Amino acid sequence: MCRFICYRGPEIPLADLLYRPTNSLILQSFHAKERTEPLNGDGFGVGWYTPQISSTPCVFASLTPAWSNRNLRQISEHVKSGCFFAHVRAASPGMRVSEANCHPFQYGRFLWMHNGIIRDFWRIKRRLCASLPDHLYNMIGGTTDSEHAFAVFLHLLGDTGRICSADEMGEALVETIAQLERWTAESGLSGPSYYNFAVTDGRCVAAVRYVSDPTAEPQSLYYSSGGKYQCSQRGVCSFCECDASERTIVIASERLTADARDWFRVAPNHVLAVDAELSVNVELMDVARIGSRVNGQSPVTPEHASILTN
Amino acid sequence: MCRFICYRGPEIPLADLLYRPTNSLILQSFHAKERTEPLNGDGFGVGWYTPQISSTPCVFASLTPAWSNRNLRQISEHVKSGCFFAHVRAASPGMRVSEANCHPFQYGRFLWMHNGIIRDFWRIKRRLCASLPDHLYNMIGGTTDSEHAFAVFLHLLGDTGRICSADEMGEALVETIAQLERWTAESGLSGPSYYNFAVTDGRCVAAVRYVSDPTAEPQSLYYSSGGKYQCSQRGVCSFCECDASERTIVIASERLTADARDWFRVAPNHVLAVDAELSVNVELMDVARIGSRVNGQSPVTPEHASILTN
Amino acid sequence: MCRFICYRGPEIPLADLLYRPTNSLILQSFHAKERTEPLNGDGFGVGWYTPQISSTPCVFASLTPAWSNRNLRQISEHVKSGCFFAHVRAASPGMRVSEANCHPFQYGRFLWMHNGIIRDFWRIKRRLCASLPDHLYNMIGGTTDSEHAFAVFLHLLGDTGRICSADEMGEALVETIAQLERWTAESGLSGPSYYNFAVTDGRCVAAVRYVSDPTAEPQSLYYSSGGKYQCSQRGVCSFCECDASERTIVIASERLTADARDWFRVAPNHVLAVDAELSVNVELMDVARIGSRVNGQSPVTPEHASILTN
Amino acid sequence: MCRFICYRGPEIPLADLLYRPTNSLILQSFHAKERTEPLNGDGFGVGWYTPQISSTPCVFASLTPAWSNRNLRQISEHVKSGCFFAHVRAASPGMRVSEANCHPFQYGRFLWMHNGIIRDFWRIKRRLCASLPDHLYNMIGGTTDSEHAFAVFLHLLGDTGRICSADEMGEALVETIAQLERWTAESGLSGPSYYNFAVTDGRCVAAVRYVSDPTAEPQSLYYSSGGKYQCSQRGVCSFCECDASERTIVIASERLTADARDWFRVAPNHVLAVDAELSVNVELMDVARIGSRVNGQSPVTPEHASILTN
C-alpha cells in the first residue's frame, strides 16, 4: 500500500517536496502517519517532465529504500520540474521487490502510480491480459497489479498519442476501476480492493480515491492548491498567496506540511482532475455505475465492451 | 546467450567448478571463448541440492556480474553439493537485467537453465501462457523466454510431485522444443531459435543442444564423465581415474579445463540424459518429429494435444 | 543502532532463528520492539560456520533490507550450522549503506558484530588507525565505527591464528572498550557511546552490554540457554529440556520468543562468555578500569601501551 | 583501468556522448578498443553541472554495469548540460565494486576521475592520509587510490572555495602526481603507476596523461575541439564548423567517433587545461620535477612542504 505525491506548478527542485517538508515523502518512506504499517521501504521511483527537452518524462527508480538512496538525494537537489510524480513502495505480500515493479510506470507521455491493492489480483490477471492489445500487453515489464491496471487505463483511454483533457483522463480512471471491479465480481471475489490511482501526461493530472467495499475506509488522499510552493532555508514549506500566474497543485497520500489549512482531504469515491491551466475539479464518482456489477447488470459502454470479449 | 554448468557426483565445493578451472564459469562471465560476444555480465545464479536438509534446491541469484560478487565467492567456497547448476547471463536485447530473470529457475524439486534464445518470443508468448494451468502460469516471476519454456516443460512432464526418470525428463525436453517450434511456425516466423536447455530434479539431469535452423550452428555444449573431479592446490583441475563409486558428470557450455581428452562435444540435435546412478545416455533427437511442423502435420501426442487448444 | 543474534548449539537451519520465532530477526528488521526507532533496514549480514568444510565462516551480506531478500530466505532454509551470527543494520546518520558496511565483519576465523554507536567516531578515527599494524589497517574495507572497533579488538587479542579461550575473548572485548573510551576522553568528548559487541571464532562466543554514560540505558541484550532449540510446524519455537548433549545458547538484542522465562536480560556493564563446551559465564566488567579515564589516570597495561604511542 | 569522458560546451543531452557515438562510452563499458582488457563493467558514474540551479554538480553513480542501467539511459536522454564527466570502471584486483568507489568523485564544486592505478597503493595510503587535513580525510568515503589522489589534489589546490584558473588546476594536477611519486619512491617501490586524471569545477577542465615508468605506455587519452557537437537522427556524431560561440571540447580515453581528423592524441607526460572560455592549452609536464624524486632531491615548494611532514 505505498505513499505518493504529484506536483504541478512552477518549476521547483524535486527536493522541495521529497525532502524538505516536515512530513516529506522520504519521511513517509519509513514513518508514514496514515497507514497502520508506517514502512514503505520496498523501492521507490520518481518521474519528471522537462518539456524543453522531451515530451516523455524521465523516470528514475530503484529497488533500494528511498531514505538511504544517494542518487535520489543528488537528483532531487539538482533537477527542477513543473510536473513530477514520486512514489515510495510497500510491496504487497508475495510481490517481488524489483526495479520493474517500482512506480511510477511510464508509457509514452504518461506516468501512472497506485496506492492500494487489487484483491486476489492473480485471479483476474489472465482475463485482464487477454483484453489488452499487443502493444499494451508487451509494455508490461513487471508483475504488479498496479502496472496491469495502467495497461487497462491506457486501453480505455484510446489513442495515447493525442492530447487528451483532464476530464477524459479522470473518466478513464473511473472506467478502469469499473472494469477491474467487473472482472473481480465475475471471479466471485468479495474482499475490498483499494484504488488510489494517479496519472499525468505532463500537462494534466487525474487522481482517484476509492475502495470497493463501502464499509471500508479508502487509503488517504489529500490535495493542496495555492500560489507558489516555497521552502525557506529553515525548512519551513508553504504555499504563498502571491502571483496568480504561479499557481500550484500538490496531490499527496498524506499532508506534507503541518498547516492543516493548506490541505483538503479528498472525499471517498471522488475523482480529482487538474487541467492544463491548473484548475482543479473534484467530483463524486458515478459509484452506481461501478456498483451495478453486484447485481450482474454490466454497465459497459459499447466502445469498451470489446475489451471483455476479445 | 549465456553460459552454464551442471554438476552431478560426489559432494564438492561449488568453487571447484565456478572458480578453479582454467576456463571456469566465472572466467566465462567476462571471457567466454566459444561465443562471438565473450561477455555474460547480466547477472548470474546458482542452485544446489543438499538432500539431507531439503528436497528442494537452494537458489542464490543476483543481477550484478558474477566476477565481482563477494557473496558468490563466499558461498562457493563454503557450500558442498553433489548436484548443482550455475549460470552466467547475457541478456537478450531489450530484456531487463533483474533477479527475476536470472537462471536457474526453480519449481519444487526442479532447476532449469537455458543458453539460447527463442526468436521473436513475444509473438508466441500469449499462446504459450494460454496453454498453461494456473499454478504454472502464476509461477512465472520474470519476463524471459527461458522461464516460460520451463513452464511448458513442467506442464508436459505432468505431475511434478512424482519421481521421474532421466529418460522422461529428456523426452519432455524434446517435446518442449517441438511445442515451442510449433507455436513459432504458426506465427509465421522463420529465424533460428537456440535451445540449449538443462534440467534436474537433484537426482537426474537432462540437457539438449539444438538450433531450429539446420544450417545454423547450435550453441556449444560439452560433457565430461569420469572419476572424482579434483582441484589441486595449484589450481589444476581434473577427473581422476579412481574409485568407480565416485563417478562424476559435468555438462558445460564450454570445456572448463585444458585437457581436451576430458571433454566430449555434444553433437547438434542431441539430448543427454544422466540417470540417478550417473549413467549417461546421449541420443539423437527425433528431429523429424520437430521438423514436421514445417509441413503442418502436427505430431502432437494425444495427451499433450490439449495444450494447443485449451 | 541495529539488532543482532548469535547462535551456538546443535546444527539447525538458520531460518529457525531468522524467520520462525514470533519476534524473529527478520521481524526486527522492520518492527524492532526495544528500540525507539523500530526500523533496521540498511542492509544485513549473516555468517555461519561449517567446520567440516572450512575453519573460516561463510559471510553473506547485502545492502538491501533483510525482509525482502530472497537469497537470504533461500539460504536460511537450506543451510544448517551449529554456530552463526546474523545482523540487521540501522545505519548511523551520514553513514553509507553499502555491503562493505554490513555486519558481521570477518577476519580469519573471527566474526564481529556491533549494536550501538561510538560517539563522534570521526574524531578518534585517525588515532585508532595509527594504532593498528598494517595487516589490520588494510583489512578495513568499510567506513563504520564498528569495523574499526573490530580491528582494535583483533590487535588487542594478539595472535589471531592461535586458539583462544572464551575468557580471553571476553577480556579483549572489555579492553577494546577501555581503549576506545580512552581515545574518546582524550578527544574531550562526553556524549554516551553504546558498545554492544559480539565476537566468535566458531567455537566460543563473547558479547558485552555497555554504555559509556552511567546515567544512560545501554542497548538491550538477552541470552537464552537450554536444550535443543526447536521450531514446530506451527511456528512455535522453544528450547526443549532434553538431552544435555544438545545444549544451546542464543544471544540476541531482543527476546525472540514470547516465553519470557526462556530469556535472561544481560545486566548493564556485563560481559558474557560462552566457551567451547557451551558453558556460559556472565560477569560484571571492571568498570573502574574503564572509568578511570575520567581522571586521566590511564589504566593501560604494559603490553597494550604501545598501541597508544606507535 | 577504466574509461572516461569530459564534455565542455553548449548544453547537450548526456546521451549524445554516452550512447550515440559509434564508440560511445557505453560501448566502451564492454568493448573498449584501446585497453588489453575491453571490459569496464564494475560500476559507473556521471556528474553534470546545471549552473542555473546549483554551483555543485549532480552525481549519479551505480555499482551495476553501465550497459544495462535503465536509470542511466533515462537520465542521459532527459538531462542537458554544458559541462559533464562520465566514467566506466574496471576495478583494480582486490578493490571492491561499490557505489562509494565509483568515479567521478565530488567535493564542493569539483569533480575528479582517474583512469589508471597507483602501484601498491596500500603502501603509501597511511602516509597519504596523514598528510590530509581533517575535512579532506573525512571526505573520503571509499577505498580507491583514485579518491585518495583527489584528496591530495584538493589539499594542494588550497582554498577550494575560491575560483581558480585552468592553469592552477593543471599545475595542482602535476604537483599531485609529483607528490604521489615521492611517497611511492620513499616506499622503495618501482612498478609503473598510471595517472590519467581529469578534474573540473564546472567552468575549467584539466586532464593529464602520465605513466611513472618512461619505458611504459601511458593509458590512452584524446581530445577534440571544434564547433558544436551534434548527433544526427541516424546516429552520426560530429563537430560542426559553425558559430564560434558554440565552441566545444571533449576529452576522452578513446576516440568516440570514426573520423580520426576530429581527435588529437594527448602526448605522454602532457597536461591539458581548458579555461572558462574553452581555450585549450596542452603542455609538456615538468617531468624533471617529478623525476627528481629518484635522486632524492625533493622539489617540494615551501607552501606544500608541510604536507610531507605533518
Tell me which chains share at least 3 CB pairs under 8 Å with chain D. A, B, C
Measured CA to CA, the distance from residue A137 to residue D56 in angstroms comes to 43
Torsional sign, CA C48, C50, C53, C54: positive
The larger pLDDT score, comparing residue C307 to residue D5, is at D5
Question: Has residue D301 got a pLDDT over 50?
Answer: no
Question: Has residue D34 got a pLDDT over 70?
Answer: yes
Catalytic residue among A2, A83, A204, A231: A2
Does the beta-carbon distance from D96 to C137 stay under 8 Å? no
Chain centroid to CA B119: 18
> How far apart are the two ends of chain C, measured CA to CA in Å?
32
Question: Has residue D305 got a pLDDT over 80?
Answer: no
Q: Tally DSSP H helices, then E strands, for chain A.
A: 9, 15
pLDDT for C244? 67
Interface of A with D (CB under 8 A): 13, 50, 53-54, 56-62, 70-71, 74-75, 77-80, 99
Interface of B with A (CB under 8 A): 96, 98-100, 122, 125-126, 129-130, 137-138, 141, 143
Peptide bond into B104 cis (omega under 30): yes
Question: Has residue C291 got a pLDDT over 80?
Answer: no
Does the beta-carbon distance from A42 to C68 stay under 8 Å? yes
Catalytic residue among B2, B6, B231, B237: B2
Does the beta-carbon distance from D64 to B68 stay under 8 Å? no
Q: How confident is the model at residue A244 (pLDDT cuts 50, 70, 90)?
A: low
CB A231 within 8 A of CB A20: yes
Give the cell for residue A170.
479522470
Question: Has residue C129 got a pLDDT over 50?
Answer: yes
Does the beta-carbon distance from D78 to A13 stay under 8 Å? no
Q: Measuring CA to CA, how many Å separate D259 from each of D9, D12, D228, D264?
A: 20, 20, 16, 11
CB D127 within 8 A of CB D42: no
Question: Has residue C294 got a pLDDT over 70?
Answer: no
Q: Report pLDDT digits (tens) over B259-301.
A: 888 899 999 999 999 999 999 999 999 866 775 443 333 333 3
- Please identify every residue of C annotated as catalytic: 2
Q: Mind telling me how many Å the CA of C150 is from chain A's nearest CA? A: 25
C-alpha closest to that of A251 among A211, A283, A280, A286: A280
Torsion angle in degrees (nearest 10) through CA of B185, B190, B195, B201: -20
Q: What is the largest CA-CA distance in chain D?
A: 58
Does the beta-carbon distance from B91 to D68 stay under 8 Å? yes
Nearest-by-Cβ selection for C58 from B53, B62, B78 = B78
Nearest-by-Cβ selection for C141 from D99, D137, D143 = D143
Chain A positions in Cβ-Cβ contact with residue C70 (cut-off 8 Å): 96
Mean pLDDT for all residues in chain C: 90
Closest-CA residue in chain B for A132? B126
pLDDT for A291? 56
Nearest-by-Cβ selection for A143 from B126, B129, B141 = B141
Give the cell for residue D67.
550497459
Does the beta-carbon distance from A80 to D13 stay under 8 Å? no
Closest-CA residue in chain B for D91? B68
pLDDT for A296? 37
Grid cell 521511483 — which residue? A45
Measured CA to CA, the distance from residue A196 to residue A219 in angstroms comes to 7
Q: Mind telling me how many Å the CA of A310 is from chain B's nearest CA? A: 13
Q: How confident is the model at residue C310 (pLDDT cuts 50, 70, 90)?
A: very low
Closest-CA residue in chain C for D123? C134
Measured CA to CA, the distance from residue B88 to residue B25 in angstroms comes to 7
pTM equals: 0.93
Measured CA to CA, the distance from residue B102 to residue B106 in angstroms comes to 11
Does the beta-carbon distance from A68 to C97 stay under 8 Å? yes
Question: Has residue A234 got a pLDDT over 90?
Answer: no
CB atoms inside a 10 Å sphere around CB A280: 18
Does the beta-carbon distance from C60 to B50 stay under 8 Å? no
Q: Which of C28, C31, C39 to mutate to test the interface with A (most CBs of A within 10 A)?
A: C39
Give the CA angle between residues D250, D252, D255 to the nearest 5°: 95
D154: left (phi over 0), alpha (psi -120 to 50) or beta: alpha
Average pLDDT over residues C97-125: 96
> What interface predicted TM-score (ipTM) does this complex get?
0.91
Q: Report pLDDT digits (tens) over A61-110.
A: 999 999 999 999 999 999 999 999 999 999 988 889 999 999 999 999 99
Chain A positions in Cβ-Cβ contact with residue C91 (cut-off 8 Å): 68
Chain C positions in Cβ-Cβ contact with residue A70 (cut-off 8 Å): 96
Q: How confident is the model at residue D309 (pLDDT cuts 50, 70, 90)?
A: very low
Q: Report pLDDT digits (tens) over C148-201.
A: 999 999 999 999 999 999 999 999 999 999 999 999 999 987 789 999 999 999
Question: Has residue D253 got a pLDDT over 90?
Answer: yes
Give the cell for residue D87.
566514467
Chain D positions in Cβ-Cβ contact with residue A109 (cut-off 8 Å): none
Q: Is D2 a catalytic residue?
A: yes
